[in-house]
Amino acid sequence: MFDFIKGVLEDKRRTEKGTFITIENNGIGYKFEITSRDYSVLPEKNTEMKVYSALIHREDTMYLCGFTNRETRDIFLILTSVSGVGTKMGLTLLGEFDLYELISLVQAQNYKELTRAKGVGPKLAQKIILELKDKLMKVNISEQATICPQVPDEYSEAISILQSLGYDDNEIKDAFAKVVIKTGETQEEVLRSVLTVLSL
């Protein structure tokens, strides 16, 4: 229903029930539940920002989950397609792991590391891998990617993930051009920076 909402960050708060923000747009305040990872990178209050949304509709309630980039939202929707992984668990997993790490763990079938997320036991971790491995195996991070022109080939893994998420070479090239890559940064750190640029 909503792809994203762009507005002013009116409120951000952590509670026993979860982590929330309120975005004001044209006099309406939209309340989103977000991941702890996204909460840690929020701007100051009264700052304009874009939030990618997922509308959760249950029999007795309706609410919004928000994400600072489109890719995290899309992976959230894939995660919650697994029976036994509800909204809270999806947010917990994406709070514990960033996209690169989560995809890597599923591809490597490393269920033990997935149990780092609160509430994820060995059985659920194995179920997540079993149901998602085919979907996430399309994201090639273990082999040499088709290198995007004008982007150094040492970032092949990050490029491969971006290509698999639907970005074309021009979008990737432009995003890399806007990112200041520091010496010694990992693929994971570079990918996070580029995704931030792409989500603007």
Strands 18-25 and 48-57: unpaired
What are the extents of the domains in the chain? 4-67, 71-136, 153-198
Whether 69 contacts 126, CB under 8 Å: no
Q: Report H helices in 139-186.
A: 156-164, 169-178
pLDDT score recorded for residue 152: 59
Whether 194 contacts 158, CB under 8 Å: yes
Q: Give the predicted TM-score (pTM) of the model.
A: 0.68
Per-residue pLDDT of the chain (200 residues; tens, 9 = 90+): 678 999 999 999 999 889 999 999 999 999 999 999 999 889 899 999 999 999 998 878 889 999 988 888 888 988 888 888 899 999 999 999 887 788 888 878 899 999 999 989 999 999 999 888 777 655 444 333 344 545 655 677 777 777 777 777 778 878 887 777 776 677 777 888 888 888 76
User: SS3 of 2, please?
Assistant: coil
Under CATH, which architecture does the 4-67 domain have? Beta Barrel (2.40)
Q: Which residue type does 112 have? A: K
pLDDT score recorded for residue 1: 65
Is CATH 1.10.150.20 the classification given to domain 71-136?
yes
Q: Which residues contact 151 (CB under 8 A, 6 or more apart)?
A: 159, 172, 173, 176
